[in-house]
Amino acid sequence: MRVITGSARGRKLKTLEGTDVRPTTDMVKESIFSIIQFDIDGSEILDLFSGSGQLGIEALSRGAKYCRFIDKNREAADITRENVNAAGFKDISYVANLDSIDFLKSSRHTFDIALLDPPYNMGLHEKVLPLLEPRMSERGIVVCEHEKGLVLPDEYGRLKKKKTYRYGKVELTVYRVPFNEEG
Candidates 29, 89, 86, 88; CA nearest to 54 is 29
Q: What is the dihedral of CA 47, 124, 110, 65, to 10 degrees?
A: 10
131 SS3 class: helix
Count how many residues are written for the chain.
183
For residues 166 and 114, give the distance between their C-alpha atoms in angstroms, rounded to a whole number: 19
Residue 20 pLDDT level (bands cut at 50, 70, 90): low
pLDDT above 70: residue 172: yes
Q: What percent of the chain has pLDDT above 90?
A: 79
CA distance 98 to 138: 26
Q: Parallel, antiparallel, or unpaired: how do β-strands 170-176 and 155-156 relate? A: unpaired
pLDDT tops 80 at residue 21: no
CATH number given to 26-176? 3.40.50.150
Q: 67-97, pLDDT tens digit by residue?
A: 999 999 999 999 999 999 999 999 999 999 9
In sequence order, the β-bridge partners of residue 115 are: 47, 143
Q: Please check the confidence at residue 181 and state whether its pLDDT lies above 70.
A: no
Task: Give the C-alpha separation, 37 to 44, whole Å.
Answer: 14
Nearest to 49 by CA among 113, 115, 141: 115
- What confidence score (pLDDT) does residue 19 get? 46
